[in-house]
Amino acid sequence: MARHNKIYPQLLPDIEDWPIHRLYQQRTEFIHEINDATVDYLMAKYNEDIEKPIARTIYLEMIRLKENPWKVDPPNERQFWKRARKELAQNAKHRDDVKQARNKELLRRIINRYSTEIAGNFKPKTFKFARKFLTGFFRRLLNTAAGKNYQKFWGSKFELYDRFHVYGDIDLIRKLWDQGTMVVVPTHSSNLDSILIGYVLDMILGLPSFSYGAGLNLYDSELIAYFMSRLGAYRVDRRKRNPLYHETLKTMSQLSIEKGTNSIFFPGGTRSRSGKIEQDLKLGLMNSIIAAQRAMLRKGDRKVVVVPLILSYPFVLEAKLLINQYLKNKGEEKFIAARDDFQSIGQILSFAWRAFSKGSEITLSFGAPMDVFGNRLDADGNSLDEKGKKVDIRQYFDQTGSMAIRNQREFVYTKILASKIVDSYLMDNVVLASQIVAYVGFVILRKMNDDLDIFGLISLPFDDFIFDAELFESVTYQVVAALKEMEDNGEVLLEEEIRTLTVKEVIMNGISKLGIFHTDKPLRFSKNGKIVSDSFKFLYFYHNRLASYKLERGIVWDKKLIEAAMENIL
């Protein structure tokens, strides 16, 4: 699939007409709707046992405040939950009907606290400023870093957009925008993802602004909080693992989609700690997409249009933090605390500078649009099965037309959708040269130390380890050949340059861009031209991007090259 160089006009030039603007013009009413719908659902589910999820929520919130408080937490947070605990205990002393009424009122206040925190906002003036600022900022970085003269200090649009490599059927995506509510489901590797996705959807695809989830921890930075709270972001606090919060979040998502607000939704739930393309998606919040489609079909024929999106970077800002957390969770390394670099403005600027100054590109590959059941869509919004026949998606919910809620069945549909998204992640992923060399480097390291586990490998001393050039070229040749065959079979995509570069050029190009943000390079050329590494841990992280393709199974190892490589090390 060819890369796009086209810049599309805005579908709705007037921001006042955007669905997200209309939604948050009625923000107070929207929050009331979330409260009503969430309380009604929970009361119907638990009935007279409603005090149990309330009690569990209070218990978990008190633990959260004790063990993991954040600066962004409201100042009266502890007092609120203490009062709630006391009130719940007092309610138990009343007769059943009074207790039920008082517990329902307590439930409503808890839900309102959550919905008020979660719901975002959208200010057109702030959006216009952010759009102008980001464009000017990126252009300035691009041209200053490239040594342009003063007259071209701010650059041109085409110079700027050349750094964003966009793949996919953009014309189809634009046509489908008017057929229903669009939900973009990206892979997630950096806290920069939301900013970059929003910018590309707006300035390149010409789509009205999307709502998107942002971790509440990001609001610790007053500057970041100011913009996110005015650019359509809704807040997600992953510390809150209680039933009332989860249901409020799901209801907010469902109602937002029902009301036609397009959404960016990270189905992996959080950034990929391992560096792999996500395979196990979170089904809880994704279930709100299915529920929204059912509700929309009750009112008409509008569809939820699901668009997978795969992001690729030659380096990841938070790689150190992410791989440390991954290894901690795997039990393969004692955790060394690392600060989330995204919360430092200086780190963000440094990241952007190196990305643009080193000629790095950010790749965004849009998968084929699908309905909530994974059926592909044509330009008119019709659902098509694998044979290309039209499918009436109403039949998925109820053949009698009642559209009754059946949670178990909809959970199965959610799993089917997740499976289709994962398939798209692998099939529409654009493989970069930097990812190839990282993969090759680590599989060579593992082959030459096949008696060690991952922890043993990343703990090896790297000072004297040299990757044999012939062996590196041999394995790279085989990996590139396998990827080209997979691309011919529609199983993956390659960045265009890989088709034309020699193996040596792939290696040179990949190593020059791999991990350039990091002081400790996953791979680099030494002064005498040898391939070496400053960090096997980073090498493992970037290698993982291609791990799901099982390319190592097809590698034929040349014994003579292995023996020669071992001799060089020894």
Mean pLDDT (the chain) is 89
Q: Name the percent of the chain lying above pLDDT 90.
A: 68
Whether the per-residue pLDDT at 403 is higher than 90: the answer is no
Mean pLDDT over 459-469 rounds to 89
Whether the per-residue pLDDT at 336 is higher than 60: the answer is no
Higher pLDDT, residue 490 or 336: 490
pLDDT digits (tens, 9 = 90+) for 337-352: 444 545 555 566 566 6
Give the span between the Cα atoms of 256 and 247, in whole angstroms.
14
Higher pLDDT, residue 139 or 493: 493
Whether the per-residue pLDDT at 334 is higher than 60: the answer is no
Q: Global pTM? A: 0.91
Where b means 16+ CB within 10 Å and e means fewer, 402-417 reads: eeeeeeeebeebbeeb
pLDDT of residue 350: 62
Of 304, 308, 130, give the one whose Cα is nearest residue 231: 130
pLDDT digits (tens, 9 = 90+) for 236-265: 998 999 999 999 999 999 999 999 999 999
pLDDT of residue 111: 98
Q: Which pLDDT band, with edges at 50, 70 and 90, does 570 fall under?
A: low
Mean pLDDT over 296-323 rounds to 91
pLDDT of residue 531: 95
pLDDT digits (tens, 9 = 90+) for 376-395: 999 999 999 999 999 999 98
Where b means 16+ CB within 10 Å and e means fewer, 40-61 reads: eebbeebeeebbebbbebbebb
pLDDT of residue 141: 60
Q: Name the percent of the chain lying above pLDDT 70.
A: 89
pLDDT of residue 152: 46
Which domains does the chain possess? 20-118 (no CATH), 165-427 (3.40.1130), 430-569 (no CATH)
Q: DSSP string spanning 375-430? A: -EE-TT--EE-TTS-EE-THHHH-TTS-----HHHHHHHHHHHHHHHHHHHHHS-E
Instruction: Supply 426's token pair.
Output: 């692998």
Mean pLDDT over 305-331 rounds to 90
Tell me how many degrees the CA angle 238-269-207 measures, rounded to the nearest 5.
115
